Amino acid sequence: MTSVAEAPVARVERRLLDGELGLDAHLARHGRLPVLDGSQIIGMARDAGLTGRGGAGFPVWRKLSAVAAGGGAAVVVANGAEGEPASKKDRALLAYQPNLVLDGLQLVATATTAEGAHLYAPKAALPALRALLAARAAAGLDRRPVTLHAAPDAFVSGEESAVVSAINGRGAVPADKRIRVVQAGVGGAPTLVQNVETLAHLALIARYGAGWFLSAGTPDEPGTFLATISGAVRRPGVVEAGYGVPLGELIAAAGGATMHLQAVLIGGYHGGWVPADPALPVSRQTLQPYGASPGAGVIVALPAGACGLGETARITGYLAEQVAGQCGPCINGLPRMAATLADLAARRPRAGLAAEAERLARLVSGRGACHHPDGTARLVLSAMRIFEADVAAHLNGRCLAAEGQR
Amino acid sequence: MKLHVDWTACDGRGVCTELLEEVLVEDDWGFPVARDGQRSPTVPPPLEAAARQAVDRCPMLALKLRSR
Ligand SMILES: Cc1cc2nc3c(=O)[nH]c(=O)nc-3n(C[C@H](O)[C@H](O)[C@H](O)COP(=O)(O)O)c2cc1C
Ligand code: SF4
Ligand code: SF4
């Protein structure tokens, strides 16, 4: 772990969300995209160490190379679905700095020699984007026309294969992964699906260089990320910071905690619970011991007095409702897991209740067309660990939060 | 070889768990689960013939053998 002395700049810092609104302001501030060829774009993404901001954190240059190697008529997709209820950052980005996303989309189209470019986002965001695309066309900005698609409001609608299926006109449900979308996606063409924030970072890297990008974040996890902070904070909303930013600084940037915090959910509904330690750096490396990761930057602060098991049961119930009814272990396992958590939260103890929650979590993991069961299991397992004392109390018919002991 | 289950197709009637009981067992709902706990369980060479048979007999064409 990095010691305090050698800790790099990892502070709240505005890059994406800086600047005035509108195309004129965008061009005045950042100028037009420099002319770059495909290998230059892929090289810059690699040198910058840019990773996906949609949750999985996969290196962008590798996906770009894979799709470029597919040869010929590739397709690129900007994914702004943001099906996660606790996330607001992609909506914020599309509302305040959509030009960065559209610039990034053109860059990845060039890098993969794509013919088709698509932007997939919630319906409410589309009218403004349509007007902006027209203004950009009039300014001679976009070499490839961009097609807009409405993302349904469902948790799994932003999963990569669901995005492809939606654009193919078959409904936003995930597909089997034996053939990956980078091989055959939209219209059967090699397809690159990239989160809108990832594309916006690429648009800045193309202008200011990999070295500039590396000056934020940690050496292993460079750059800034958008965090959506909610729960027991004074000003819930979207904050931008370098990876490795201490949790306390993120909370402070959201106006500070409204009361003492007992735990924080990081990485969203597919994420993990971590202790509310203000010094905890938010990075993959430091969160991994908790089974968590920054994911798509969702942070939910749980106040003292709230029951972590109750909150986990509520989220698990929601996730069980969001199952795209396709895969047996997910269709059956998630509702069962939710019911088990609900019993635990409501202090309806029975023999083996806690062990049953963990068994189900392990049983469903890896057994679906998408990672929805795995993500749900991760949340449940992290809750069983961090709320261990609450589990023990609930099994004895008591609740530490209700008794004011948390 | 590894066994891949297309979960969007599998209906959990358990033909494969009978033909390939060394590799697969039924979960709480009848769906195949790998004994080795892997997402795509490894099929040892002596069981490859049985695995091919399971692939051929799966009524939903949900099973595939793949080299990696
Ligand atoms: C259930 C589920 C939901 C997802 N929802 C989104 C989403 O709303 N937006 C998004 O960008 N990625 C989402 N993802 C991740 C995508 O599958 C994919 O990894 C991502 O769009 C790739 O872009 P990136 O590499 O730039 O992050 C989801 C994944 C899963 C398993
Ligand atoms: S794993 Fe669950 S959410 Fe994902 S495709 Fe299958 S049924 Fe749908
Ligand atoms: S035989 Fe095919 S459909 Fe039946 S349980 Fe096995 S994989 Fe599923």
Whole-number pLDDT of residue B4 = 96
Distance of alpha carbon A168 from alpha carbon A193, whole angstroms: 14
Tokens for A396, please give them.
């004895």
Among B68, B27, B47, B60, CA closest to A360: B27
Task: Give per-residue pLDDT as tens, A177-227.
Answer: 999 999 999 999 999 999 999 999 999 999 999 999 999 999 999 999 999
Task: Give per-residue pLDDT as tens, A324-337.
Answer: 999 999 999 999 99
Distances (CA, A) of A112 to A34, A37, A69: 17, 10, 8
Q: Provide the shortest C-alpha distance from residue A293 to chain B (in Å).
A: 21
**Which CATH number is A224-303 given?**
3.10.20.600
Distance of alpha carbon A399 from alpha carbon A322, whole angstroms: 28
- Cβ atoms of A308 and A302 closer than 8 Å: yes
Distance of alpha carbon A386 from alpha carbon A372, whole angstroms: 21
Q: Which ligand is nearest to the CA of A151?
A: 1
Q: What is the mean pLDDT of residues A86-103?
A: 97
A-chain residues near B7 (CB < 8 A): 176, 326-330, 367-369
DSSP conformation class of A157 = G
Our answer on whether the CB atom of A201 is closer than 6 Å to any ligand 1 atom is no
Q: Is A176 near chain B, with CB under 8 Å?
A: yes
- Cβ atoms of A253 and A233 closer than 8 Å: no
Tokens for A55, please give them.
């949750």
pLDDT at A84 over 80: yes
**Which CATH number is B2-66 given?**
3.30.70.20
Q: Residue A2: pLDDT band by 50, 70, 90 thresholds? A: very low
Distance of alpha carbon B31 from alpha carbon B10, whole angstroms: 8
pLDDT at A8 over 50: no
For the sheet containing A261-266, what is the strand order?
A: A237-242, A224-231, A298-303, A261-266, A272-275
- Cβ atoms of A330 and A367 closer than 8 Å: yes
Task: Check CB contact under 8 Å for B8 and A369.
Answer: yes
**Bigger pLDDT: A11 vs A15:** A15
Distance of alpha carbon A64 from alpha carbon A82, whole angstroms: 22
Average pLDDT, chain A: 94
Contacts of A370 (CB under 8 A, 6+ apart): A156, A159, A161, A162, A174, A177, A324
Q: Is A369 near chain B, with CB under 8 Å?
A: yes
pLDDT at A5 over 70: no
Q: Residue A4: pLDDT band by 50, 70, 90 thresholds? A: very low
CATH assignment of A308-395, among 3.40.50.2300, 1.20.1440.230, 3.40.1710.10, 3.40.50.800: 1.20.1440.230
| Residue extents of the structural domains in chain B | 2-66
pLDDT at A307 over 90: yes
Tokens for A31, please give them.
């100028």
B-chain residues near A183 (CB < 8 A): none
Tokens for A43, please give them.
């090289």
Task: Give per-residue pLDDT as tens, A341-361.
Answer: 999 999 998 989 999 999 999
Whole-number pLDDT of residue A315 = 98
Distance of alpha carbon B28 from alpha carbon A332, whole angstroms: 9
Task: Check CB contact under 8 Å for A178 and B11.
Answer: no
Distance of alpha carbon A164 from alpha carbon A183, whole angstroms: 12
Task: Give per-residue pLDDT as tens, B6-64.
Answer: 999 999 998 999 999 999 999 999 999 999 888 899 999 999 999 999 999 999 999 99
pLDDT at A3 over 50: no
Task: Give per-residue pLDDT as tens, A99-133.
Answer: 999 999 999 999 999 988 999 999 999 999 999 99
Distance of alpha carbon A239 from alpha carbon A251, whole angstroms: 9
The total number of residues written for chain B in this structure: 68
Q: Which ligand 1 atom is the nearest neighbour of the CA of A162?
A: 17
Q: Which ligand is nearest to the CA of A83?
A: 1
Distance of alpha carbon A394 from alpha carbon A147, whole angstroms: 52
Name the CATH superfamily housing domain A23-214: NADH-ubiquinone oxidoreductase 51kDa subunit (3.40.50.11540)
| Closest-approach residue (CA) in chain B for A360 | B28
- The Cβ of residue B55 has, within 10 Å, a number of other Cβ atoms equal to 18
Among A192, A177, A225, CA closest to A50: A225
Task: Give per-residue pLDDT as tens, A228-252.
Answer: 999 999 999 999 999 999 999 999 9
Q: Provide the shortest C-alpha distance from residue B46 to chain A (in Å).
A: 24
What are the backbone angles phi and psi of residue A394, rounded to the nearest 5°?
Answer: -60, -35
* Cα A403 to ligand 2 centroid, rounded to whole Å: 38
* Cα A158 to ligand 1 centroid, rounded to whole Å: 5
B-chain residues near A359 (CB < 8 A): none
DSSP conformation class of A143 = S
Among B29, B23, B20, CA closest to B7: B29
| Residue extents of the structural domains in chain A | 23-214, 224-303, 308-395
